Every structure is written in C-alpha cells, then in structure tokens.
Amino acid sequence: MTERTGEPLLESAFLRQLDRLALVLRRPMAGDIQGERRSPRRGSSVEFADFRPYARGDDIRQIDWNLYARAERFYLKLFVAEEELNVHLLVDTSASMDWGTPNKLHYARQLAAAYGYIALANLDRVSVTAFGAGPGELQLPGVRGKRGAVPLFTFLQRLQPGKQGDLARACHRYIQSARTAGPLLLCSDLLDPGWKDALSALASRPFEITVMHILAPQELEPDLEGDLKLVDVESGAPVEISANLDLMRRYKTHLAAWRGEIESFCNGRGIIYVPVDTSVPVEEFVLGRMRRRGVLR
Amino acid sequence: MSLITPLALLAAAIVGPAIVAMYLLKLRREERTVSSTFLWQRMVRDVEANAPWQKLRRNLLLLLQLLLMLLLVFALARPYLAAQGISGRNLIIIIDHSASMGATDEPPTRLHAARERAYQLIDQLPDGGRATVIAAGGRMEVPAAATSDRRELRRAVERIQLSNGGGSDLSQALTLAAALAAREEDSEVAIISDGNVTLPTNLRVPARVSYFPVGRATENMAVSAIALQPGTTGQTLFVQVTNYGQASATRRLDLYLDGAIFNAYNLTIEAEREQSLIIDLPPQVEVVEARLDGADAMPADDRAFAVSPATEATTVRLVTAGNRFLETGLSLLPRLNVVTVPAEATTFTETVAQVPVTILDGVTPAELPPGNLLFINPLRSTAYFSVTGTIEFPQVRPASGDDPVLRNVSLSEVSVLKAARITPGNWGRVVVNSDGGPLLVVGEREGRRVAVLSFDLHESDLPLQIAFPLLLSNLMNFLAPGSGAEAAQLTPGQPLSRQVDTAITEVRVTRPDGRTVSSRGSEVQIQAGQAIYADTDALGIYTIEELAGDTVVGRHRYAVNLFAPGESRIATQRDLNIPQASGASSTVSRERDSRQEFWRLVALIALIVLLVEWLVYQRNGLAYLRERWRQRAGDRQSPLRS
C-alpha cells in the first residue's frame, strides 16, 4: 500500500499553491554556500550589518574610507551574508507508520514533500533522512532549487516501511552527522518509548525543529470491541484488553494526556509541535493548519 | 426435598469441566494488530493497578454459565417436595358444587377453596398423567375427561359454578369415577367437598380415594320454610327459622313486604332446633322476603321469599250427574270456582284460559274438553287409556311414598268395592296400584295434565276419610298449577312451567338478578300450551309476564328458595367412608403421599440466568446505548438552556 506509482505525491495544483508559501524562520541560520537567506555570518550582500576595527590580515577592500576620513582609524564595513538554508526532513518509516487509513507513512511523505518543495522553491537546500528501515538510514544528501523537486519526490515515493525503528537512536545519530543546522521537520508518530530522548537530542543543536505528530484516526478513536489481544506491529508485544466503552474513554483521556505531555515538552525546548490527524486532507492541512501554526507563511 | 433422577447430577460432573475447558480455550483472545501497543501498555498498567476485581469481572460469564448449567442439571434431576396430595397417574377429581359449597368461611367461598385445591392437584399431576374433572352435587357435569392438558383441566375447574339445586348426592359421580378408575391402572379419586354429601352404600371404588375437606365453620342459621296463605281477612305468613349449628344463636329476622321493611323479630334458637312465626299480613301484599340480619358462613339460606298466591280463582268444570262428596271437597279448596255441568253435555266451547281444568265424574264424552282432565270412574276407553273391564275389591297399594300427589295422604284404610280396569298409555305414572290394575294414574301428555281415578267415589269409603280432601287438594294442585301457595314456590333448578293460552304470543321471565329473558330468545320455551323456563338455579323471585301482542295480560311470581337442610348443615366432615380397593374405607389423605415437583421453577430461574448472562455478554452494547441516550437527552436539554 505504500508504493503509489503513477499517482503523483502531490497534485500540481497544490504545488502551485505551495509556490506562494515560504518557510518561517525565527532566526538567521548559517548555510554552506551563498544563497538567498540571511545568515548569522557577515558576508557580501548589499545589506549593511556593522562596523569592525581593522585587524591585521583583513581584506583592505572592505575598509570604509569615509569613516577613516572622519575617525582616522581603519574600520571594516561588514555586510549581512546571504546564504542558503539547509532544510532537514526526517521521516519516520518504522512499521508503526505504515498503518491506518489514510496511511500515516503516506501522509508523512506528502507533508515532507510539501515542506521540501516550499524550501526548494525558495532556493534552499533540502536533505531527507528516512530512518526506521533497517539498521541504517536512507538519505537524500541534498538537493537545491526547483530542479531538486524531482529527486526529492522520487526519493520520498520510494520510501519503504521498515520493521522496527528506534527513534531516539536515529535522532542521536542524525544530530551527530548533520553538518549545518537549519529548519528540521520531523514526521513521526512518536509511538516509541524513547520519544523524549529523541526530541531532546534534536533540540540539543540549534535546529528549528517542527514535530509533525502524525496519528491515524484509528489511533485517535480506536474502534475496538470485546476481549482482544492487541499485537504491536513492530515489536509483536501483545497486550490483552477487554475493550468496552469505559476503557475506550480512558484510552482517549490517556491519549490526550500523552499529546499534552509532548506539547509541553516541545514548548519547553522551543520545538513547534503540530498534531496531525491523517483524516484531514493534506492540502487543507498544509495550507491551513501549518500556516496558522506559524510553520509556513 | 428429594430427587427423582439423581443420576442426572452426573451430567454436571461432565459438562462442568467441559465448560471450564472451553472457557480456557476461549480465553485466547482474538488478535488485533495495532500500530503500537505503546499507549495501551501504559494504560493497562494503570487499570490493573487499581482494579483487583477486574479478574473476577472477566470471569463473570464463566460463573454465570456454570450457574446456568447447575440449574439445568438440577432441573433434570427432577427435584420434588413431599406434599399432601395425590400420587396416581390417572386422577379423577370430584368437586362438590352443591349449595353448601357457597359457604363463605373459606373466603371468598368454599367452592373457590375447592378450585384452588383442584389446581394444586392438577399441578401435582405427574408428567404424562391424566385427569378427569367431575362436578358433583346438583347436576353432575364432566367438564374435562381424561386429559393431560393442564390448561384445559384448569379451565374446566374454573368453569365449575355453584349449583343450588339438586342436593349433594355423590353416588352418581362416584359410580362414574369407579368405572373410570377400573379402566386404568394407578388411578386415584380425589374428592374435594365439605363432606355433607350422600354416598353410595354398596360401591367399592377400585382405586385409592383421597378426600380433601373444605370449610371450617359449623354455625349456620337458615330460613327453612316460608309460606303465604290467604286468610279470612288478609294473608297469613308462616316463617320457620332453623339453627343448623352446634351452639345456640340469636339472630334478627327482618320481614320485607314488597321491598319495604315491615317488622323485625329477635330469635334465639338452640342448636338443631327451629322456631316458627305466624304473622298476619295485609291482603294486598304480593312479595314477602324474610331475611336473617347479619352474616353467617352461608348467606344463601339467610333469605327466603314468598309470593302471594294467585288472586284469581281457577275455574274448574265439574261434569257430573251429581256427586256430593266431590262438590263439598272442591268447595273447601281455596280459589277454586267450580262450575257444575250436567252429565249430558257433549260440547265444551270455553277455552283453556277460561276453564283450565275439567273433572269428568262418571262420564266420558266422545269429544274431550280442552285443558287438564281428571277422570273419575271412566266408563269407556279414551285416547289416554283403555277400559277393559272391572276389578272387584281391589287391594289399594300406593306405589311410592314421595309422590307429590300422595303427600300427606294415607290410603291404608281405604277400601274400594269396584273399580274400572284401565290400561294407561305410557304418558302416565301409576300412583295407586292394586292387584288388578292401577287405581290412580297421573301424567302429562302433549302439555295436558291428566289424572285418572278408576273407581266411583260412591263405591268406596275414601270420601269418608281424612285422606280424601288431601288427595283432592293434591290432585287439584297438580291439575291446576299456580292456584295454590305451594305452586308458587320452586326449589332451585326445578323448571318453571306455566300453562299459557294460544292467545299469548310472548312470555317474559324477569330473573332475581334483574335480567329479563323472553320466549323470543331460546331460554323460555313455549311448547304445547306450556311456557317452560329451566334456569332457576338462582334464588329469589322470578316474574313471568304473558304478553298478547304488546300488552301484558298476565303477571305471575314464583319464589325459588333453598330449603335444603342437607345444604344448610355446613359443618365439614373430616372423613368420608368409601370402601376402596385396598380394603380401607377412610379417605383422609396422608402427608408425603404426593410429590410436588418444581423443576419448572428451576428451569425458569435457569432461563433468567441465561438472560442475565446474555446481558452481561452484551454489556458494552448496552453501555453504548445508554451513552447515546444520555447524549440525546443532553442535546434535547441544551437548546433550552441557551
């Protein structure tokens, strides 16, 4: 059910709407090469940033001679550097994501594609990492510009659900390997005992993290009845329940409490938490909810 | 409590473990794959921590199933309680429905108590057993014969109504029961009665007979006789009150004349004694009711009615060559208007209504007059009898003692010189016989009452004896009914019959309960000049109205009273002596005779448990429905609040 060949990941009409959107950055982010985004570094744009006393070895071409005439000292005139952004897309492809109707993994792909496309449209660099399938991660090293949309979509299309994922470990490894920080979009259901670990690991570097907490309607309102043995699709660990109305009610309170816990955890670390219900069409979600949430503009 | 088939309990030992085993197998729950058990695990841990009885609740279904199984097995073992009752498979229930069963000492009546007892017996009937219900005393009825359908039996018992008339003779019922019992093995006869019954003397019932006495009270007072006779200036009422109880009692007797209270008398009567009152009443009084004030166990006999005898005199045509005895005798009888016709008369033009009775003394016209006839010394054969000669010095022999025509008449001293030898048709019954042929024949044919006295009064010493006026009075009561005070009194169940003219087109009878029946319906019949109404079981006044076209031409009242000492003696007999197959003659039923099975009850409980089990199984659905309902109620309320 994961491979939907023939069907484009995102509709072209939707892509045209996405063209008008841009990522929201709360602070300048450093990039690798010159681009169109303000960088915390000083560089060679036309926008003035600051003055700095001349030090030996500085490029004398940057000395502000007008200022020297007034102050009889050498000052360098600094400009804001404009660099490209490194947008990180993390997609959880563990088996638990390949579940629910509409499928959570597919939804995650669509979200990642939309987010990545917006970044590409703004000439940013997008790298995708899918974890959960096997011991290592699948990576798309980085594409740039609108031309990069094709490899991005293809990569996402080809993502296969894995068996068992360890969210925390994957995040740790990603933090260690990522070169430059930037906006980071984590698409996961966080159904992992180590979700706290994972999020704090990501927050340990100055990424601008947005967590897409993707849950299927079957998880939000499970339709269970009778004495059941629930089997985890990843670990195979069983849980025996006698599902009745009371238990369902308790499940829902429990779920709400859990989401609340994640949200307050994220707020404490400057992470944007976006709960996602896969029953909401992805177009509506991206154009409406993500903009309202301040992820896009 | 014991079990009929205790081996059935073994089933529990087999089925019980099977159920448990099945349940354990069933405990392997249905598997359902979910994205993650992460949330569930956390939650279930919470739940199990705070609900130690969760386990029990999970086993509730098992416990219910085991209970259900145990109940069913118990029912299969057929538990029973030893009870007083019957044990036979072919049960014959005789229920006494005579008037004494209307006593109210077993509220509401003894008959109800008897019915309840009969229901119990029917319930005790073993499976496959059959029962016959016989209602005895009064008219015998068999409302249910040899059926095993309990419902039909109960219906049959329910239908049994009190029968005021006919006394309490169980002979016929017991004879029938004996015949039924003889046909089948393992029969049992149950008699439900108060024991005041007549039993056959020479009957041996080939089965066990159990007697279930009904009733407690012994004390009863009754109005035992009432008569209203015309006196010289007004009317004379005779009332007799009898104390049938075993202790002296005082009651007040109220007299009502035409519905209005007239007088009251306090009577104190010793046990088994009676007291009579003779009271002069105004002549215009038509209906007298004597009522014992207060209540006793038997209200039916506390009231009695008397009606004033018909005020019009009955015309009697006497065709004679001259008979002083007869003329004197007839003139002494009240309300008789005797018209003497010479013996030569041959045609009679008056109708029945004008002259209902004709006495043919020593003449036999070729064409007989209409109406009732009394032949005295007939000379030649008629359509009713043939005369074949004469008998010299016949020996007078009354046929039986209780013929109403011979009431109070003693013929033992009577000698007859010569009588006609007559051979009556089969319409008549011989009241006085002799060695040569009947001397007095009475009977009814085609609505006509006919009496034949076969000797000339002058050739006998009968007119000189006290028996003559009495016999004449009885004969006239028979031939001209409705003329004497006696005729207006009937016993319950005795058909009410009255001669009616051809001009009468309709006869209406108003019953004591106010209901009116008419000859236009089927209840009153007019046949051969007689109106007959048979349903006179209810006590009280019956009014007959004769209508010619739309006008009422005659109104007559009849009183139906329960004057039955046998019924008024209500003390319950504790035992009945009926010879039985076993040789015993006591019919007291013994404890532990019967098995009252109650597996039906157990099965019913099992059914309820089954229902509960199903409800428990479906409790989620029920909770869901409740939730929905609550939501709806909330929805309905919220607009009001806003």
Number of domains in chain A: 2
Q: What is the DSSP code (8-state) at residue B434?
A: -
Tokens, residue B437: 């042929």
Q: Nearest to residue B364, comparing CAs of B393, B385, B339?
A: B385
In this structure, the answer to whether residues A75 and A141 fall within a common structural domain is: no
Cα B366 to Cα B364: distance, rounded to the nearest angstrom? 6
Closest approach of A124 to chain B, Cα-based (Å): 34
Answer whether B37 sits within 8 Å of A227, measured CB to CB: no
Detail the DSSP E strand segments found in A161-270: 183-188, 208-215, 226-232, 238-243
pLDDT higher for B459 or B126? B459
Mean pLDDT, chain A, whole residue set = 85
Give the C-alpha distances (Å, rounded to integers) separating B100 from A53, B297, B562, B626: 138, 10, 10, 60
Closest approach of A33 to chain B, Cα-based (Å): 42
Query: Rounded mean pLDDT of B451-457?
Result: 89
Residue A130 domain flag = yes
Candidate CATH numbers 3.30.70.100, 3.30.390.50, 2.40.10.330, 2.60.40.10; the one for domain B221-309? 2.60.40.10
Nearest CA in chain B to A244: B620
Polymer length in residues for chain A: 297
Asked whether residue A5 carries a pLDDT value surpassing 70, the answer given is no
Q: Nearest to residue B586, comparing CAs of B249, B208, B272?
A: B208
Nearest CA in chain B to A104: B35
Most B CBs within 10 Å, among A105, A107, A196, A227, to test the B interface: A227
Which range (A112-126, B18-32, B328-342, B476-490) has the least confidence? B476-490
State the pLDDT confidence band at A40, using cuts at 50, 70 and 90: confident
Cα angle A37, A40, A44 (rounded to 5 degrees) comes to 65
State the pLDDT confidence band at A109, using cuts at 50, 70 and 90: very high
B451 strand-pairing partners: B374, B442
- Cβ contacts (< 8 Å) between A248 and chain B: which residues? none
pLDDT of res. B349: 77
Answer whether A234 sits within 8 Å of B36, measured CB to CB: yes
Q: What is the DSSP code (8-state) at residue B6?
A: G
Residue A100 domain flag = yes
Answer whether A100 sits within 8 Å of B30, measured CB to CB: no
Q: What is the DSSP code (8-state) at residue B59?
A: T
Answer whether B31 sits within 8 Å of A238, measured CB to CB: yes
Residue A18, burial from CB neighbour count under 10 angstroms (0-12, 13-18, 19+):
buried
B80 strand-pairing partners: B2, B597
Nearest CA in chain A to B624: A245
Residue A144 domain flag = yes
Cα A197 to Cα A178: distance, rounded to the nearest angstrom? 18
Given a contact cutoff of 8 angstroms between Cβ atoms, the answer to whether B449 and B479 are in contact is yes
pLDDT of res. B572: 83
Closest approach of A185 to chain B, Cα-based (Å): 22
Range list for CATH 3.40.50.410 in chain B? 88-216+572-590
- Cβ contacts (< 8 Å) between A241 and chain B: which residues? 40, 44
In this structure, the answer to whether residues A190 and A106 fall within a common structural domain is: yes
Answer whether A239 sits within 8 Å of B41, measured CB to CB: yes
Query: Rounded mean pLDDT of B340-344?
Result: 83
Indicate the SS3 state at residue B397.
Answer: strand
Residue A188 domain flag = yes
Terminal Cα distance for chain A, rounded: 32
In this structure, the answer to whether residues A91 and A191 fall within a common structural domain is: yes
Answer whether A250 sits within 8 Å of B47, measured CB to CB: yes
Most A CBs within 10 Å, among B28, B33, B35, to test the A interface: B35
Q: Nearest to residue A259, comparing CAs of A203, A219, A291, A213?
A: A213
Given a contact cutoff of 8 angstroms between Cβ atoms, the answer to whether A181 and A86 are in contact is yes
Asked whether residue B50 carries a pLDDT value surpassing 60, the answer given is no
ipTM: 0.78
Most B CBs within 10 Å, among A239, A247, A261, A278, to test the B interface: A239
Residue B632, burial from CB neighbour count under 10 angstroms (0-12, 13-18, 19+):
exposed
Closest approach of B35 to chain A, Cα-based (Å): 4
Question: Chain B interface residues facing chain A, Cβ-Cβ under 8 Å?
Answer: 27-44, 46-47, 58, 619-620, 623-624, 627
- Cβ contacts (< 8 Å) between B28 and chain A: which residues? 229
Cα A216 to Cα A103: distance, rounded to the nearest angstrom? 7
Indicate the SS3 state at residue B416.
Answer: strand
pLDDT of res. B608: 94
Cα B460 to Cα A231: distance, rounded to the nearest angstrom? 125
Closest Cβ opposite residue A244 in set B31, B44, B623: B623
Helices then strands, each counted (H, E), chain B: 12, 34
Query: Rounded mean pLDDT of B479-491?
Result: 67
In this structure, the answer to whether residues A23 and A77 fall within a common structural domain is: no
- Cβ contacts (< 8 Å) between A255 and chain B: which residues? 39
CATH number reported for the structural domain that contains residue A203 in this entry: 3.40.50
State the pLDDT confidence band at A179, using cuts at 50, 70 and 90: confident
Given a contact cutoff of 8 angstroms between Cβ atoms, the answer to whether B307 and B488 are in contact is yes
In this structure, the answer to whether residues A57 and A200 fall within a common structural domain is: no
- Cβ contacts (< 8 Å) between B43 and chain A: which residues? 250-251, 254
Nearest CA in chain B to A217: B35
Strands B221-230 and B516-518, by their bridges, are unpaired
Closest Cβ opposite residue B38 in set A192, A225, A246: A192
Contacts of B428 (CB under 8 A, 6+ apart): B384, B385, B441, B442, B443, B445, B450, B452
Closest Cβ opposite residue A233 in set B33, B41, B623: B33
State the pLDDT confidence band at B642, using cuts at 50, 70 and 90: very low
Q: Could you check whether the bond before residue B334 is cis, i.e. omega within 30 degrees of 0? A: no
Closest Cβ opposite residue A96 in set B30, B35, B43: B35
Mean pLDDT, chain B, whole residue set = 82
- Cβ contacts (< 8 Å) between A230 and chain B: which residues? 31-34, 37, 40
Given a contact cutoff of 8 angstroms between Cβ atoms, the answer to whether B579 and B189 are in contact is no
Answer whether B30 sits within 8 Å of A246, measured CB to CB: no
Kindly report, residue by residue over B142-188, the tens digit of the pLDDT.
888 888 888 888 898 888 888 887 777 888 888 888 888 888 878 88
In this structure, the answer to whether residues A194 and A48 fall within a common structural domain is: no
Q: What are phi and psi of B469, to 5 degrees?
A: -60, -35
Nearest CA in chain A to B57: A242
Nearest CA in chain B to A95: B35
State the pLDDT confidence band at A4, using cuts at 50, 70 and 90: very low
Sign of the torsion angle spanned by Cα atoms B605, B607, B613, B614:
negative
The count of CB pairs under 8 A between chains A and B is 96
Chain centroid to CA A54: 41
Given a contact cutoff of 8 angstroms between Cβ atoms, the answer to whether A161 and A133 are in contact is yes
In this structure, the answer to whether residues A75 and A157 fall within a common structural domain is: no
Given a contact cutoff of 8 angstroms between Cβ atoms, the answer to whether B196 and B91 are in contact is no
State the pLDDT confidence band at A260, using cuts at 50, 70 and 90: very high
State the pLDDT confidence band at B639, using cuts at 50, 70 and 90: low
A172-178: long-range pairs with CB below 8 Å, 24+: A172/A197, A172/A198, A172/A201, A173/A137, A174/A88, A174/A90, A174/A129, A174/A131, A174/A137, A174/A202, A175/A201, A175/A202, A175/A204, A175/A205, A178/A86, A178/A88, A178/A205, A178/A207
A10-13: long-range pairs with CB below 8 Å, 24+: A10/A110, A10/A113, A10/A114, A10/A117, A10/A153, A10/A282, A11/A283
| H-only helix segments in B84-207 | 110-124, 150-159, 171-183
Closest Cβ opposite residue A233 in set B30, B34, B42: B34
Cα B93 to Cα B115: distance, rounded to the nearest angstrom? 10
Strands B496-499 and B530-533, by their bridges, are antiparallel
Asked whether residue A263 carries a pLDDT value surpassing 90, the answer given is yes
Given a contact cutoff of 8 angstroms between Cβ atoms, the answer to whether B319 and B341 are in contact is yes
Cα atoms in the 13 Å half-sphere on the side-chain side of B178:
17
Answer whether A229 sits within 8 Å of B624, measured CB to CB: no
| H-only helix segments in B420-571 | 467-479, 565-568
Given a contact cutoff of 8 angstroms between Cβ atoms, the answer to whether B574 and B195 are in contact is yes
Q: Residue A62's domain spans which residues?
A: 41-82
CATH 3.90.1150.10 fits B88-216+572-590, yes or no: no
Residue A123 domain flag = yes
- Cβ contacts (< 8 Å) between A96 and chain B: which residues? 35-36
CB atoms within 10 A of CB B78: 18
Contacts of A62 (CB under 8 A, 6+ apart): A76, A77, A78
Asked whether residue B86 carries a pLDDT value surpassing 80, the answer given is no
Indicate the SS3 state at residue B183.
Answer: helix
- Cβ contacts (< 8 Å) between A258 and chain B: which residues? 39, 42
Cα B259 to Cα A9: distance, rounded to the nearest angstrom? 108
State the pLDDT confidence band at B610, using cuts at 50, 70 and 90: very high
Indicate whether this model's pTM tops 0.95.
no
Range list for CATH 3.40.50.880 in chain B? 314-479
In this structure, the answer to whether residues A67 and A195 fall within a common structural domain is: no
Question: Chain A interface residues facing chain B, Cβ-Cβ under 8 Å?
Answer: 96-97, 99-100, 104, 189, 191-193, 216, 218-219, 222, 224-235, 237-247, 250-251, 254-255, 258
Q: Could you check whether the bond before residue B492 is cis, i.e. omega within 30 degrees of 0? A: no
Q: Which CATH architecture has domain B314-479?
A: 3-Layer(aba) Sandwich (3.40)
Closest Cβ opposite residue A231 in set B32, B623, B624: B32
In this structure, the answer to whether residues A201 and A159 fall within a common structural domain is: yes
Q: Nearest to residue B122, comparing CAs of B147, B146, B154, B145?
A: B154
Answer whether A251 sits within 8 Å of B40, measured CB to CB: yes
Answer whether A254 sits within 8 Å of B29, measured CB to CB: no
Which percentage of chain A shows pLDDT scores above 70? 93
In this structure, the answer to whether residues A192 and A279 fall within a common structural domain is: yes
Answer whether A229 sits within 8 Å of B623, measured CB to CB: no
In this structure, the answer to whether residues A64 and A169 fall within a common structural domain is: no
Candidate CATH numbers 3.40.50, 2.60.120, 3.30.460, 2.60.40; the one for domain B493-560? 2.60.40
Nearest CA in chain B to A219: B35
Closest Cβ opposite residue A193 in set B31, B38, B627: B38
Range list for CATH 2.60.40.10 in chain B? 221-309
Answer whether B37 sits within 8 Å of A241, measured CB to CB: no
DSSP readout, B208-274? EEEEEE-------EEEEEEEEEE-SSSEEEEEEEEE-SSS-EEEEEEEEETTEEEEEEEEEE-TT-E
Q: Nearest to residue B232, comparing CAs of B272, B281, B196, B199?
A: B281
Closest approach of A211 to chain B, Cα-based (Å): 19
Kindly report, residue by residue over B268-289, the tens digit of the pLDDT.
888 888 888 888 888 888 888 8
Answer whether A230 sits within 8 Å of B34, measured CB to CB: yes
Kindly report, residue by residue over B556-598, the tens digit of the pLDDT.
888 888 888 778 888 888 788 888 777 777 777 655 456 777 8
pLDDT of res. A1: 42
In this structure, the answer to whether residues A16 and A155 fall within a common structural domain is: yes
- Cβ contacts (< 8 Å) between B46 and chain A: which residues? 250, 254
